[in-house]
Chains A and B, each alone.
Chain A
Amino acid sequence: MSTLTKYSAIPYTGPAPTNREPFVPADAAKHDTRGEELAAQLGNVAQERGQDLPTLVADKNDIVNVLTSLKTSGFTLPLDLWGVDYPNRDKRFDVMYQLYSLQNNERVRLKVRVGEDESVPTTTGVFKGYNWFEREVFDMYGVKFDGHPNLRRILTHEQFQGHPLRKDYDPAQRWLLTEQGVAKLEPKIDPRFENVDTDFERVTLNLGPSHPATHGTLRIVVTLDGETIIGAESEIGYLHRCFEKMSETHTYQQVIPFTDRLNYCSAIINNVGYCMAVEKLLGIEAPSRAQHIRLMLSEFMRLSDHIICIGTNLVDMGALTNFWYLFQPREEILGLVESCCGARLLPSYTRIGGMAVDVPSNFLENSQRLVNMLPKFIDDVEKLVMTNRIFRDRVDGVAPISAEDALSYGFTGPCLRACGIPFDIRKASPYLGYETYDWNVPVAEGGDTYARFLVRFEEMRQSLRILQQAINRGLPPGPVIVDNPYVALPPKEKVYNEMESLIYHFKMIMHGIQPPVGETYFQVEGGNGELGFYVVSDGTKNPYRVRVRPPCFPIFEAYTEMITGQTIPDAIAALGSLNIIAGELDH
């Protein structure tokens, strides 16, 4: 029970936000210069200034050339491709591309403006990963891609009408799918196996959408020749919960619970990513105490994510003991989260500008207890499986992917690091002070299932290293949320006792946060790789557009290629090691 206390007048003396003013990022000048260089180098592109990334605008007919020359000049990782709808404009759609250069550690954003009846040439020839991304833009906006090998709906179902992310689409308009309407998938036979004559009959087999080994709801159709998979096709969208459309109909704070449910194994990382994107748009920074809590809980969530991945992957291979054994420390981690905010799995603990509440006084002791306890569990499981002959036979060299292919698909996170590429957002563009901690990026060679296991085990140890240092530093004193009534709710006691706070509280509930007009992108290292949030504000209380860059999406896209030529048990082992989270995959 809180006691009533008399407070002085609210201390906030800063300016009130003047919305509908353009958002100017702090480092815009740097990006403008870099954008000029790139524009001069490419020749036929315009430049957009004052953005948080070097931003180029290309003509739709040039896009393949522009992307190809960017790829040859080092931008080898296609991070994202998405659309934005501006219905009042002459050319209403923005098709946006984001590329990353591993050599220079820099990003570039490309825009192509298209009208309603126009189409864009496909870029699947440049980056393999853009196949699904283009299908998604087609599904959501109806933008057609000329020359796309398989341009059909990806997230919504076959009997869906219209394109839901268009601004004129009613968010609640549903279309029913009947059983007769479900499309039959015919996997294309891989050319390597087309003319091979074996004694076996070819069989087409469905894995999923309800299958014990498909974590969540995925559907894979494979054609088998004996035991060998000679062709595979995957279908997603069985958990398309319309995150992006829902974000547009809710206020900035209300989007936070939706972000939890993207990667539900490591929910706080999603919260942090989204909140930091909006904070970037608002030009504020969370207090140092909140940042420290965010960092610690993010690392605990990464541990929990990897525990689920390793545990369930081993269950699929028949090693049930590890699952039960590893879930014990995981429950402890969830208990720690519960002690902080009252929720276990999906805590929605962060707020824009900080955290919802402060951590309990014994937070550091509990964390220390966990950090002391976890290495034993990790070591035990590693000893149980990594030198186990049966296990090694099932994972060594299974479903490998080359570093080139992984990059072309847009892999990030542990799956990319298992191919020998040390790309980690926490090192490449540090946030929350990761640069001040002493830790290493684990990398493995080979890109096979075994390598992915190795990377995940080592990453858990590195997370523990970070956590130990964070505990040693202690929590910085101070508040956990910014003292700005236009961003955060005033404390309840003040609301009950002060007129100003009551008004701020009312204004915040009714009008929400109103960031300046503009667009921004922020990325964090999620459990599976780069988790990015692209937020567009039009100065109102609802986001104009929230785009999530789900790390699973390109990874699962490559899955069919990875398992072709393997057997069904290999495919199951590989699927678990990729850690596909349906909530994130289908957003």
Chain B
Amino acid sequence: MPIQKIENSDSIIPRKAGVAPGEGAEKGLITLPGESEREVEDLAGASVLTTQLEKVVDWARGNSLWPLPFGTACCAIEFMSMVSSHYDISRFGYEVVRFSPRQSDLLIVAGTIVDKIAPVLKKIYDQMPEPKYVIAMGACATSGGFYRAYHVVQGIDEIIPVDIWVPGCPPTPDGLMYGILKLADKIKRGEIKRG
């Protein structure tokens, strides 16, 4: 399927080459997803798999997240457990840990965020290229945990948007793994649309 630049980003239907937008619908060339698939399959036979471009992209994104661990506290130790030999997150393909925000698309906030480091977290999030996803790992990142205190941010959603909250203090490595897989599901379903 030829991949073309989509001018109108609201539309999720890939257009056929040579047909100006707006003309297609009247001529019956662009139809609803299911129908268009049938049309193409009739033309090309069973050797071609047709799908929506966004679905392919989401599938690929969901399967190759590059995490940036913003580890500040205890949760970072459990994150280390998750990437190391026993739990081994590389079985799922999320082991490419990058410490540079420029090279990663999944920000795992592991640990308490205090007011002093809040601007740093915001800056790191801003430096990450789109698309980017955020996991708040543990009670502190989620809500401040049991630190209802003068120097602790009461949940990182005060500063940055969050896609998945992982409960626990700290969450077990399998808990975090489950969180990442849930995020992958969410991305693959196309529920996260940012940027």
Contact = CB atoms under 8 A, between A and B. Distances in A.
Interface string B74-87: 10111011001111
A134 B57 CA distance: 56
B123 interface: yes
Interface in B141-157: 146-152
Contact of B122 (A170, A173, A179, A264): A179
Contacts of B172: 344
A155, A174, A211, most chain B CB atoms within 10 A? A174
B150 A241 contact: no
B73 interface: yes
Contact of A171 (B122, B124, B149): B149
A324 interface: yes
B117 interface: yes
B116 A156 contact: yes
Contacts of A173: 150
Interface string A371-394: 000000000000000000000000
B51 interface: no
A323 B84 contact: yes
Contacts of A241: 73, 112, 114, 140, 147, 149, 151-152
A327 B81 contact: yes
Contacts of B76: 216
Given A264-B74, A312-B80, A237 B170 contact: no
Given A177-B118, A179-B119, A583-B73, A242 B151 contact: yes
Interface string A209-240: 11110001100000000000000000001111
Contacts of A238: 72, 114, 116-117, 120
A330 B152 CA distance: 30
B68 to A, nearest CB: 9
A324 B140 CA distance: 27
Interface in A131-179: 155-157, 160, 164, 169-179
A506 interface: no
Q: Among the interface residues B115, B151, B172, which one has the most CB atoms of the partner chain A within 10 A?
A: B151
B169 interface: yes
Contacts of A246: 146-147, 149
B85 A328 contact: yes
Contact of A216 (B72, B81, B86, B170): B72
Given A157-B115, A211-B99, A345-B74, A174 B80 contact: no
Nearest to A208: B120
Name A's interface SS.
loop
B151 A178 contact: no
Contacts, number: 128
Contact of B150 (A177, A239, A245): A245
Nearest to B120: A209
A143 to B, nearest CB: 18
Contact of A210 (B81, B124, B146): B124
B74 A240 contact: no
Contacts of A261: 73-74
Given A157-B116, A177-B118, A209-B120, A239 B72 contact: yes
A495 B73 CA distance: 38
A217 B117 contact: yes
B70 interface: yes
A138 B166 CA distance: 37
A328 B73 contact: no
B96 to A, nearest CB: 13
B73 A156 contact: no
A346 B169 contact: yes
Contacts of B170: 345-346
Nearest to B144: A241
Nearest to A174: B150
Contact of B85 (A170, A324, A345): A324
A156 B151 contact: yes
A582 interface: yes
B15 to A, nearest CB: 43
A187 interface: no
B77 A265 contact: yes
Contacts of A325: 85
B81 A240 contact: no
A331 interface: yes
B150 A242 contact: yes
Given A171-B149, A242-B149, 19 more contacts: A156-B116, A156-B151, A157-B115, A157-B116, A177-B119, A209-B120, A210-B99, A237-B114, A238-B120, A239-B114, A241-B140, A241-B149, A241-B151, A241-B152, A246-B147, A264-B74, A312-B80, A324-B84, A327-B86
Interface of A: 155-157, 160, 164, 169-179, 182, 209-212, 216-217, 237-242, 245-246, 257-258, 260-261, 264-265, 308, 312, 323-325, 327-328, 330-331, 334, 344-346, 582-583
Interface of B: 70-74, 76-78, 80-81, 84-87, 99, 111-112, 114-120, 122-124, 140, 146-152, 169-170, 172
14 contacts: A170-B150, A171-B148, A176-B118, A209-B117, A239-B114, A242-B151, A246-B147, A260-B74, A264-B74, A264-B77, A312-B80, A327-B81, A345-B74, A345-B170
